[in-house]
Structure 1
Amino acid sequence: MPKRASGRTVGGLRSLSLQAPAVTLLLLWMLIPLGMTLWFSFQHYNLLMPGEPSFVGLENYEYLFTDPSLWRAMGNTLLMVGWILVISVGGGTLLAVLFQQEFKGRGIARVLAISPFFVMPTVSALIWKNLMMHPDNGVLAWLTESVGLPAIDWFSWVPMTSVVIIVSWQWLPFALLILLTAIQSLDEDQVEAARMDGAGPVDIFRFITLPHLKRAISVVIMIEMIFLLTLFAEIYVTTSGGPGLATTNLAFLIYIQALLDFDVGMASAGGVVAIILANIVAIFLVRLVARNLEE
């Protein structure tokens, strides 16, 4: 018995020594930027005056939380994330059910439906801005004018809707890919038995398909939420946060403070707020996914 215990101890120490470099590197990778962000959030540090940093305590946070632009940016962030999740997850679920059916050219249709996810965000935004939504030469302007309606200046009249459409177009294929993979594991015998009992397509979707996809939907929401909270490229390319603050989210507000106003201290305080918000959302989503996995 003592020999076995000693063997287990030596094995555990050897395993710990092998894991220590990777764990240490990971901790440094996370803690150093976080520590610097916290430090600068308590400093008055402007890039135009780099030699004059000074400790100001909570002054940056006080100014930030009394600035209406912060609450507008947080509201825009939640609004964008909410609508994009509704469109991408809802549309992805319906498309997954559709592409599960047998029809001619299904393989090609699946590839075409998933391909937008592999387009870079900047390229995607440029395509929509200059090719699809341009008020003079865009495809959507041509379609509206062909039926006698005036062209829509998307980024001036409905900027938030424009950004939501662009990002949803990019993330819907991701939801489709995950949900289509999940729906392929659905027991066809169960579906066939439901049909024999008189269940229609709506009842099968509501009581069999949707409960089966619940875990996959939770994972899709969690992954998309993490990336959508830091949405930046599409806003920068299309609206630059405008008109005014109409499409300024929290990530873009931090960019404005850091690289347009050159206020590193204020931007760092905004970064801390963003970290806290992301962790609150992550805790909620992890619990949601864990609850679905236990069922």
Structure 2
Amino acid sequence: MAPAVLTLLLWMIVPLAMTLYFSAVRYNLMQPGEHGFVGLQNFEFFATDPAFGPAIVNTLLLLGSVIAITVVLGVAIAVLVNEPFPGRGVVRVLLISPFFVMPTVNALLWKHMMMNPIYGVLAQLARWFGAEPVDWLTDHPLLSVIVMVAWQWLPFAFLIFMTSLQSLDREQMEAARMDGANALQRFWYLVLPHLARPVAVVVMIEMIFLMSVFAEIYTTTSGGPGTASTNVAFLIFTQALMNFDVGVASAGALFAVLLANIAAVFLIRIVGKNLDR
């Protein structure tokens, strides 16, 4: 296994080492001759960027909102679809399908087909009810991105919860029903405890992947208006490919890695506690 392990380590360590190096030197593509050591100045420049504070807030809002939407709706839809009805197999396939749509396609679909203020589906619905259409990407940019990302990640949460419900003890549910427990009581005392581990897993996985949401923002709002929808990933992109400052972008990337690892360690501990129960 040594060659495979060595290849994996090189594949991981070499890019990380290069990022560490670039974060400690002055490396701007517009000034190719200056590669002097600057210490922590790149980190200071990244942290003092006027867009840094809004980017952190937007990232946390995006993470919290998408996770809350996908967990709540995922549990609700999984419980609903778990009951037998005609065409259940087809409905399950349709509910899972959005997860396989590429992020860029997802963003274009919502931008042009759903949220366009002139010919979008939401604009047509608003006119049908006699209301004024809303320019979602201009008036509510972050909310629009949250809706797009939640729409794509909801099938993932639904799939995990639906699979978990397949192992729920039906005899226990039937016994509770015969003892007089209503639907809400059965859900609260039997279904939710059974879904504790899947919920922890979904939160952990989504937390890690949602830190790097980029395509939806780049395709629809470009981080604007202003910094209204800029997150950490898009701020790093701005420094790297718009300001041509590889050093500052590398410092931002290390900050994002640190933030993701802190969240991952915290969530892994939560998952571990749930698995020990």
Please give the TM-score of this superposition, normalised by the length of structure 2: 0.98
Q: Please state how far the C-alpha of 1:65 moved relative to its aligned partner.
A: 2.1
In the alignment, which residue of structure 1 is the partner of 2:136?
154
In the alignment, which residue of structure 1 is the partner of 2:85?
103
Say which of 173, 196, 201 aligns to 2:155.
Answer: 173
Q: How does 1:58-137 map to 2 (within 5 A)?
A: 58-137=40-119
Aligned residue identity for 1:291: K
For the residue of structure 1 that corresponds to 2:51, the secondary structure is helix
**C-alpha deviations, 1:65-87, integer Å up to 9, x for none?**
22231121111111101000000
In the alignment, which residue of structure 1 is the partner of 2:181?
199
For the residue of structure 2 that corresponds to 1:44, the secondary structure is coil
**What CA distance in whole angstroms lies between the structure 2 residues aligned with 1:219 and 1:147?**
41
**What CA distance in whole angstroms lies between the structure 1 residues aligned with 2:18 and 2:48?**
24
Worse-matched range after superposition: 218-227 or 261-270: 218-227
Q: Please state how far the C-alpha of 1:51 moved relative to its aligned partner.
A: 2.4
**What CA distance in whole angstroms lies between the structure 2 residues aligned with 1:72 and 1:242?**
11
Q: Please state how far the C-alpha of 1:169 moved relative to its aligned partner.
A: 0.4
Aligned residue identity for 2:175: A
For the residue of structure 2 that corresponds to 1:186, the secondary structure is coil
**What CA distance in whole angstroms lies between the structure 1 residues aligned with 2:98 and 2:37?**
47
Say which of 174, 190, 198 aligns to 1:216.
Answer: 198
**What CA distance in whole angstroms lies between the structure 1 residues aligned with 2:50 and 2:30?**
25
Q: Please state how far the C-alpha of 1:194 moved relative to its aligned partner.
A: 0.7
In the alignment, which residue of structure 2 is the partner of 1:9?
none
**What CA distance in whole angstroms lies between the structure 2 residues aligned with 1:108 and 1:63?**
53
**What CA distance in whole angstroms lies between the structure 1 residues aligned with 2:240 and 2:71?**
34
**What CA distance in whole angstroms lies between the structure 2 residues aligned with 1:223 and 1:232?**
17
**What CA distance in whole angstroms lies between the structure 2 residues aligned with 1:43 and 1:249?**
24
Indicate the structure (1 or 2) with the bigger Cα radius of gyration: 1
**What CA distance in whole angstroms lies between the structure 1 residues aligned with 2:101 and 2:229?**
22
**C-alpha deviations, 1:207-258, integer Å up to 9, x for none?**
1000001101111111111110000001110101011001100000000000
Q: Please state how far the C-alpha of 1:103 moved relative to its aligned partner.
A: 1.1
In the alignment, which residue of structure 1 is the partner of 2:274?
292
Aligned residue identity for 1:228: L
**What CA distance in whole angstroms lies between the structure 2 residues aligned with 1:60 and 1:118?**
38
Name structure 2 gaps, 5 residues minimum: none
Q: Once the two structures are aligned, what percentage of the paired residues are identical?
A: 57
Aligned residue identity for 2:142: M
Q: How does 1:276-291 map to 2 (within 5 A)?
A: 276-291=258-273
**C-alpha deviations, 1:81-131, integer Å up to 9, x for none?**
100000011110000000100111111111111111111110011000000
Please give the TM-score of this superposition, normalised by the length of structure 1: 0.92
**What CA distance in whole angstroms lies between the structure 2 residues aligned with 1:48 and 1:63?**
17
Aligned residue identity for 2:22: F
Q: Please state how far the C-alpha of 1:52 moved relative to its aligned partner.
A: 1.8
**What CA distance in whole angstroms lies between the structure 2 residues aligned with 1:233 and 1:193?**
49
Name structure 1 gaps, 5 residues minimum: 1-18
Say which of 250, 253, 257 aligns to 2:232.
Answer: 250
Q: Please state how far the C-alpha of 1:205 moved relative to its aligned partner.
A: 0.7
Aligned residue identity for 1:94: A
Aligned residue identity for 1:225: M
- The Cα RMSD (Å) is 0.8
**What CA distance in whole angstroms lies between the structure 1 residues aligned with 2:272 and 2:185?**
27
Q: How does 1:13-28 map to 2 (within 5 A)?
A: 19-28=1-10
